[in-house]
Chain A
């Protein structure tokens, strides 16, 4: 929007380089700025960045092709992306997409990786993986800014605003309002206030004592894997290296997860404080907050908190006057890649590259950013760590189970009366969450996101805890009015789109799985296809290179076991359906010969399966 003729691509890149530096690791950040400004990355920018940063033009292009929010061809001046999580679909997003497309005079439907661009270049419509607004969807991004609570009226208005070429600054403010929807507060959410107490405590007690409190607390990572936080910090503290880094993983890409967004909005100081304490413990001078592109609207807020904390002496050189305690934080943006939540891919992305998972070991604690010891923790983990250092390890142990100390913040969405943020002590059974959020007639819960587990009512007595149902926080609810196959189709397409492509089982297996799911959904599948889905899913789970591929088939394998009927009622026939449609293949011949009689058709392969 407003691409004024006065700024040339070269000029813009030169300014970006002047302001943000020529470190090749800033490549991605420069590309994001160019994309924002010109709605694509023109060749001239590729050449200029390649020359200035000493990376090949191919590497620049490869990065553009990797990130879903970067493009080598123009998108619309208004670049619109609908969030395409299953929860958006359940709230009617497909209908709204069609409405907008019609209003804008576009044809067809966008698909993952395929945007509709209007010929006049004014507007484009595409999809995005879950944008983290599931409790207030359907949602979309327009030029990277989140618009929530879409309905026909709002979409109509958006179409008008686009047609009138109204700049985003003058769109109605309520379109961009993002609610926190905190419904249940516990240990962490009870109190957002802090005045640097954790940092003071660290300085008073010393790094070793602070680390001992984290150890005592039993705190485990809240980002999914559940690694013991104190151990991670200790490994990093003791690893040889010239520098050390603290990284806050705010990629929050797991479909159905949005609690980090809320923490970054209202508990910002505590999150930053956790990072600062970690820096003090491991001896880091620099930190990064890797913020998913979908949350770019939070950037001004986050920058202002960092700025204030610098002014308060809580960041920067000689923090709170302590000699040698220097630490500051830079915010790096992501650009639409779920894999960049995986810690080693995240580090690759921080270094400006395609977000491909690194070989592990070595783990980031010994060889992370710039190959130096690096702690990567989830937003919620840092928040909890700050309180643990402030209030002591026993404080966290006051809740939860033996193996899962403290509480877990859940992002609840889907079929319930009160979607939003719920904090529970570990050990809380699933049925209690369902009762509290007003879920009725529940058929299934997808816990821990698309990569997580599908729960049937038989599982609702199970508890949220590392030892039973570990979760990164996503809790999506499906009542009996839903066809769970829609969920499976959504997730299968998500994983095929988000595979980084490095290893064979995930890259190829994910695409095969998606195609088979579509075949079954189209009523063309057979038992044989279901057994193929199992076979492929098993190979992905076993042989993939990283966690994405290991977990990508979970939803298929879980639903095949627990909800066989969603497949069974779609099967065309019991045994085998060829994926090659002989009759369709003959259609050209029929057209050429002008025939359409019975003799010109082949019975749809029923001989094969007899």
Chain B
């Protein structure tokens, strides 16, 4: 029979090569995540999926599942760590949820709700970041970028384009666009690119589709992310 490990006491079957995240998702168990997307190689940068294995914290999206593991995905300590990480993401950028088109269908916001994060708590950095509306079909609001590199990976590994990259280091790290002017409109990016459909926040948005679904009726307004899953998966169902 297949091998199993324990997640919060529940037996989760897995196959060799699967991560804890893979196996949990396949078994219908939710582990909060932002930089993970099953279609791309695990990344491990946001750290929201942190779980505890025998006192050691690892990211579920990168840690290999193995026989007999006892994984804690729901203790107060894990919840506290995740909340702090989410708070860090909120104060690092400029996330004005009430004024954001993605509100209600944003994974960052939904994961924050899920973990019980009530306020950003830490002192805001209020970085000066720009909005790039140069592309005819898509707008990028860098204020909302959490550096998950999903667009970087999608463009490179799926679209074969390398439109995005991360530049700088430390808190100065930022998303950049490969074009002579540095603007999206000047790049080879297209609205049909995979990279246009993977952002877990409201940083990459289609133009001309504002408020199609009224606030209050959006994905995570109806059910928590632990039940409905990622935005991307939903989008694809609709298409």
Whether a CB of chain A sits under 8 angstroms from the CB of B100 is no
**Are A65 and B167 in contact, with the CB atoms below 8 A?**
yes
Complex interface: stretch among A91-99, A172-180, A508-516: A508-516
Nearest CB in chain B to that of A339: its residue: B169
Q: How far is the CA of A93 from the CA of B191 in the complex (A)?
A: 54
Asked whether A505 and B176 contact (CB < 8 A) given A56-B165, A66-B168, the answer is no
Q: Does A554 contact B (CB under 8 A)?
A: no
CB <8 Å contact, B170 and A542? no
**Binary per-residue interface labels of chain A (336-373) against chain B in the complex, 1 for a CB within 8 Å, 0 otherwise:** 01010000000000000010000101000000000000
A58-B178, A359-B62 known; A504 vs B170 contact (CB < 8 Å): no
B92 within 8 A of A: yes
Chain A interface main SS type:
helix
The residue in chain B whose Cβ has the minimal distance to the Cβ of A539 is B84
Q: Given A502-B45, A508-B92, A511-B125, A539–B81 Cβ distance below 8 Å?
A: yes
- CB proximity of A192 to chain B, nearest CB, Å: 37
Q: Mark A470-509, 1 if CB is under 8 A from B, else 0.
A: 0000000000000000000000000011111111110111
In the assembled complex, which residues on chain A have CB atoms less than 8 Å from the CB atom of B91?
508, 512
Contact with A along B139-171 (1 / 0, CB 8 A): 000000011000000000000001001111111
The contact string, 1 if C-beta is below 8 Å from chain A, for chain B 71-89, is: 0000000000100110011
- Chain A 108-134 against B: per-residue CB contact (8 Å), 1 yes, 0 no? 000001000000000000000000000
A500–B81 Cα gap in the complex (Å)?
21
The interface bits of chain A over 33-73 (1 if a CB of B lies within 8 angstroms of the residue's CB, else 0) are 00000000000000000000000111101100110000000
Residue of B with least CB distance to A546:
B44
Chain B residues with CB below 8 A from A4, complex form: none
Q: List the B side residues contacting A361 at CB < 8 Å.
A: 64
> Which residues on the B side are within 8 Å of A507 (C-beta)?
92, 147, 170-171, 173
> Is residue B226 contacting chain A, with contact meaning CB distance below 8 A?
no
- Across the interface, A62 reaches (CB within 8 A) one of B64, B81, B166, namely B166
Nearest-neighbour CB distance to chain A for B43, whole angstroms, equals: 8
In the complex, chain B residues 2-54 whose Cβ is within 8 Å of any chain A Cβ: 42-48, 50
Q: Is B212 an interface position by the 8 A CB rule?
A: no
Assess A65 versus B169: contact at CB under 8 Å? Given A56-B178, A505-B47, A543-B81: yes
Q: Is the CB of B81 within 8 A of A542?
A: yes
Residues from chain B with Cβ under 8 Å of A337 in the complex: 169
In the complex, chain A residues whose CB is within 8 Å of the CB of B165:
56, 58-59, 62
A136 is an interface residue with CB less than 8 A from chain B: no
| 6 nearest CB pairs, A to B | A501-B173, A508-B88, A58-B178, A62-B167, A499-B170, A65-B168
Bound together, the chains give a CA A502 to CA B122 distance in angstroms of 20
* Chain B residues positioned under 8 Å from A157 (CB to CB): none
B205 within 8 A of A: no
Q: A58-B176, A339-B169, A503-B45 are in contact. List 18 more A-B contacts (CB 8 A).
A: A58-B165, A58-B177, A62-B166, A62-B176, A65-B167, A354-B166, A496-B170, A501-B166, A503-B46, A504-B92, A505-B85, A505-B88, A511-B171, A512-B91, A535-B84, A543-B47, A544-B47, A545-B59
Distance, CA A508 to CA B85, complexed state (A)? 9
The residues of B that contact A62 with a CB separation of less than 8 Å are: 165-168, 176
Residues of A within 8 A of B168 (CB): 62, 65-66, 501
> Which B residues touch A359, using CB under 8 A?
42-44, 62
A501 to B170, CA, bound (A): 4
How far is A512 from B124 in the complex, measured between Cα atoms in Å? 9
Sample (28) of A-B pairs whose CB atoms are under 8 Å apart: A56-B165, A58-B177, A66-B167, A66-B168, A354-B169, A361-B64, A496-B171, A500-B170, A501-B147, A501-B168, A501-B170, A501-B172, A502-B45, A502-B173, A503-B46, A504-B45, A507-B92, A507-B170, A511-B125, A512-B123, A536-B122, A539-B85, A542-B57, A543-B47, A543-B50, A543-B81, A543-B85, A545-B45
Interface residues of A (CB under 8 A from B): 56-59, 61-62, 65-66, 113, 337, 339, 354, 359, 361, 496-505, 507-512, 515, 532, 535-536, 539, 542-545, 579
A510 touches B47 (CB 8 A): no
Q: Which residue of A has the minimal Cβ distance to B176?
A: A58
Minimum Cβ distance to chain A for residue B121 (Å): 9
A501 to chain B, nearest CB (A): 3
What is the bound-complex CA distance between A544 and B45, given in angstroms?
Answer: 9
What distance in Å separates the Cβ of B202 from its nearest Cβ neighbour in chain A? 18
Q: Please give, as numbers and ranges, the residues of chain A lying within 8 Å of B44 by CB-CB distance.
A: 359, 503, 545
Bound form: Cα–Cα A511–B166 in Å: 19
CA distance A66 to B180 in the complex (A): 20
Q: A515, B167: Cβ atoms under 8 Å?
A: no
| CB nearest to A68 among chain B residues | B169
> Which of B62, B88, B176 lies in contact with A61, CB distance below 8 A?
B176
- Find chain A residues with CB under 8 A from B166 CB: 62, 354, 501
A536 proximity list for chain B (CB < 8 A): 84, 122
Let me know if B123 and A504 touch, CB within 8 A.
no
When C-beta atoms are compared, the residue in chain B nearest to A58 turns out to be: B178
Complex CA gap A509/B88 in Å reads: 7
Chain A residues closer than 8 Å to B171, beta-carbon distance? 496, 499, 501, 507-508, 510-511
